[in-house]
Structure 1
Amino acid sequence: MTKDLFNIFKNHISNNLAFLKESRLLIAISGGIDSVVLVHLCHELSLNMALAHCNFNLRGKESDGDEDFVIQLADSLDIEAFTESFDTQGYANQYKISVQMAARELRYFWFDELAQQLKFDYILTAHHADDNLETFLINFSRGTGLDGLTGIPPINNKFVRPLLPFSREQIVDYAKANELVWRVDSSNASTKYLRNKLRHEVIPILKEINPSLLQSYQSTINNLSDATDIVEDHLEQFFQEAVVSMEENKMVFKISEFKKQNNPRAYLFETFKDYGFTEWNDALNLLDAQSGKYILSNTHRLIKHRNNLLLSEIIPSELVEILVNDISEEIETPFGLICFSSIDEISDNSATSIYVDRALLKFPLLIRQWKVGDLFYPFGMKGRKKVSKYFKDEKLSLLDKESTLLLCSDNNIVWIINRRADNRYRVTKETKEILKIELK
């Protein structure tokens, strides 16, 4: 089979990835055996390609040696090579992530940027069947759903993995039979990383138990992929019924649609798994919790609001305090422009505009977020009311409350912006100048 690997690869490209023959390709190459074999196979097929190598500067002279090797390989094959040097450790420290995650983010961002700038159609990586099995075991050991058990996708947007059907053994045999030269990454021998521990200690035992492990795994992958297709078809129908609205900063789901399912927890998992949530019993309890209760992931918040669940991204809140010195200014706020204009006649007050007695305002005005204890006199009423009580009566969600701003004069509320004016600043028969304040 080793001698025929090129022919098997050639048939695989023709039968499953024929679009690569007519495309401009960028091959990600580390200098290791897998990517070197991929380069040689693609070169033998006369594919239109160039190489891209990342120097992560994590292994001193060894890293520089990898870069030199890739450049020499490209010269020997008369193909173009691109290299980029990264401060991987600095990036990991800055964003407080592991070195492995930093390297992954840096390389994929650069590959994508390179492909866009230089018009490469696809980016090829050298993942193979053993990598796929390792990924399966990593996801399995950490806990995952069907998606995490179906392995590395052969095609993922611009990224294509032509070697995915082939084993590490086939790749090594091909490289030796063709007397190829490659670089050995010394860090691959260390078992302090989970992937290496699985590769060197766990998978050999599994292969000893079942010599056909990769074939058995591929059969499992095929079965799981078929099951995933069925689940996705059903989930698409569920989402059509469950989603109330999708806005830029939030999604709203009907709680009743989750509750009518035989296993609401499973539907919660499939709906919200991509947003960083992990405590699915807490999510299940949210269905019957009081309005306003919520759970958090590192990136998102899921809130119970009356009969709905509200999903929103967690955005670090910035203290909003904007001074308004003159009515000739257009004031920019996070939710639009506040504009002032003197007019002769008024129409009914609305959510987006109010009319006030100019003489009653004391400048500078202040636009700020609401806080507990704020009071105002709702327009059309004589008595005062807590802003928090007004929010409750209006049945505002936690997200709506957090996005509400107040326009204030001398510490008094003039307008709950975009919601309700204060009665103390209303236009009367004694008003000499009418000021229109509008949110655009």
Structure 2
Amino acid sequence: MRDTFKKHLESNLNMLQDSRLLLAISGGLDSVVLAHLCHQLNLKVSLAHCNFNLRAAESDADEDFVLQLADDLDMEVFIESFETENYAKEEGLSIQMAARELRYTWFQELAEQLKFDYILTAHHADDNLETFLINLTRGTGLEGLTGIPEVTGKIVRPLLPFSREALKVYAIDQNIAWQEDSSNASTKYLRNKLRHDIIPILKQMNSQLLQNFQTTISNLQDSQDLIDDSVVRIQKKLTTAEDDQIKLDVLKLKQLSNPKAYLYQLLKDFNFTAWNDVVNLLDAQSGKQVFSSTHRLLKDREFLLLSEIASETDQAPIAIQKSDQEVVVPFGTLRFEHVTAIMDTGNTTIYVDAEKLVFPLILRKWQEGDVFYPLGMKGKKKKLSKYFKDEKLSLIEKEHIWILVSDDEVVWVVGKRADDRFKVTENTTKILKIDLQ
């Protein structure tokens, strides 16, 4: 197996040869075999072991085993202990998800702090098959059926072509010891049930199951590549990025052979789950919207508008004192400067009569019922909602509007229009320049 593993690295993962590698090791068969293979090929590897404190003495025995293995192989080793059950309760996660989150966060931190080039995990062909079946039973798109990727950013899985049985045969042949995790025998978890009850039956039915599965995965990955290429071409034709939002042309989407499929491909990275509701937006009235945990999709006339959901802290009003010269705001920086004359003007710069201002000024989101006197309109009052309609602002654009207020009177619809009541006149003695960077 060592020779096959070496050829696999040379052909597909040659970048590992001269890199600093951090190997995630549990003490189980898979990761221990990977450690020995890396050692035999003289790769520059350090070990990283997580003690999740979930199996009492067994967890501590795994830690001791890894420490001894590192000593035997003369490898640097890092150990981290986690209170996994407490973390799971605090974050509202299952034990499995909590452990996953904890270990990958720690691995990434170690790699960044100590300049490791890649993180190695010991996923193998049987893990890949189990993941495929799990996704299949839960319902998934094509991505869920293309298997575990060999490389994801800094994470590399060099054992993916090898079966669990091949690893075990190699370990026995080389007199390599490993730790058995008693929780792996329990079938209360779906993965273990597949591993112990379902996959053995499939292998009895077809002795070439894993080999055929690898061929299927390769074919599905090829299909995914074709889809990705098609989506890139379509994306260029019907999406545009403006400020903090992405616009999708509804008419062009509806002219595609399968709008639902393309919508899924275009939006799959934004955490949407209610896909029927997403598709229904194509024929919905303006103002209808669908939310994911992180984003919002809004129907606005002939477009779907995708934007990130702002946090509550990004919506809070901001008080600006008379002494402030620069204030950081959610959309940039406001600068205040006393000047003697009006120079450059525009949407991002206004000049006001400083003596007409009442401090603190308040910067806040606009609200229904707000009115102002648009500069240049000779004292005519206008509702902000009517002004936005006249300016043909989209619903999302309106939601991003902030106003600068003095004693409940609008000074500036920021980035749009100043208020006529605070303009500089021939009687002005103190001019304040307000500039948005």
The answer on 1:296 being equivalent to 2:298 is no
Moved more, 36-45 or 262-271: 36-45
The answer on 1:85 being equivalent to 2:81 is yes
1:426 aligned to which of 403, 423, 428: 423
The answer on 1:396 being equivalent to 2:393 is yes
Q: 1:305 aligns to what?
A: 300
| CA distance, structure 2, for counterparts of residue 165 and residue 332 of structure 1 | 52
What SS is found at the alignment partner of 2:283?
coil
Is the alpha carbon distance of 1:395 and 1:191 closer, same or farther for their aligned partners in structure 2, counting shifts above 3 Å?
farther
Is the alpha carbon distance of 1:246 and 1:162 closer, same or farther for their aligned partners in structure 2, counting shifts above 3 Å?
farther
Q: 2:4 aligns to what?
A: 8
Is the alpha carbon distance of 1:330 and 1:163 closer, same or farther for their aligned partners in structure 2, counting shifts above 3 Å?
closer
Is the alpha carbon distance of 1:433 and 1:315 closer, same or farther for their aligned partners in structure 2, counting shifts above 3 Å?
closer
Q: 1:317 aligns to what?
A: 312
The answer on 1:207 being equivalent to 2:200 is no
1:6-405 matched pairs, under 5 angstroms: 6-245=2-241, 247=243, 249-318=244-313, 319-326=315-322, 329-346=325-342, 350-381=346-377, 382-405=379-402
* 1:246 CA displacement: 5.9
* 1:406 CA displacement: 1.4
* 1:191 CA displacement: 1.9
CA contact (8 A) 2:325 2:337 kept: no
Query: Structure 1 regions of 5+ residues with no counterpart?
Result: none
| CA distance, structure 2, for counterparts of residue 320 and residue 16 of structure 1 | 51
CA contact (8 A) 1:252 1:308 kept: yes
Q: Give the TM-score normalised by structure 1.
A: 0.92
Code of the residue aligned with 1:260 in structure 2: it is Q
Code of the residue aligned with 1:394 in structure 2: it is E
* 1:232 CA displacement: 1.4
| CA distance, structure 2, for counterparts of residue 48 and residue 432 of structure 1 | 72
What CA deviation, in whole Å up to 9, does each residue of 1:362-383 have, x standing for no partner? 3332222212221222222233
* 1:324 CA displacement: 3.0
* 1:75 CA displacement: 1.0
| CA distance, structure 1, for counterparts of residue 424 and residue 356 of structure 2 | 10
Code of the residue aligned with 2:269 in structure 1: it is D
Is the alpha carbon distance of 1:25 and 1:335 closer, same or farther for their aligned partners in structure 2, counting shifts above 3 Å?
closer
| CA distance, structure 2, for counterparts of residue 119 and residue 20 of structure 1 | 14
| CA distance, structure 2, for counterparts of residue 255 and residue 269 of structure 1 | 14
* 1:262 CA displacement: 0.6
* 1:327 CA displacement: 5.8
What SS is found at the alignment partner of 1:83?
strand
Q: 1:414 aligns to what?
A: 411
What CA deviation, in whole Å up to 9, does each residue of 1:380-417 have, x standing for no partner? 22332222222222222333223222111221212111
Percent sequence identity over matched residues?
57
| CA distance, structure 2, for counterparts of residue 8 and residue 332 of structure 1 | 58
- Taking only aligned residues, the RMSD between alpha carbons, in angstroms, comes to 2.2
What CA deviation, in whole Å up to 9, does each residue of 1:11-54 have, x standing for no partner? 32333333333333222110001111112222222322221111
Is the alpha carbon distance of 1:201 and 1:307 closer, same or farther for their aligned partners in structure 2, counting shifts above 3 Å?
same
| CA distance, structure 2, for counterparts of residue 325 and residue 45 of structure 1 | 65
Code of the residue aligned with 2:158 in structure 1: it is P
What CA deviation, in whole Å up to 9, does each residue of 1:270-298 have, x standing for no partner? 01111111222211221232333221111
| CA distance, structure 1, for counterparts of residue 68 and residue 333 of structure 2 | 58
* 1:344 CA displacement: 4.3
| CA distance, structure 1, for counterparts of residue 19 and residue 6 of structure 2 | 16
Code of the residue aligned with 2:420 in structure 1: it is N
CA contact (8 A) 1:149 1:224 kept: yes
Q: Give the TM-score normalised by structure 2.
A: 0.92
Is the alpha carbon distance of 1:11 and 1:325 closer, same or farther for their aligned partners in structure 2, counting shifts above 3 Å?
closer
CA contact (8 A) 1:245 1:253 kept: no
What CA deviation, in whole Å up to 9, does each residue of 1:243-280 have, x standing for no partner? 31265x43233333322211011000001111111222
| CA distance, structure 2, for counterparts of residue 388 and residue 72 of structure 1 | 70
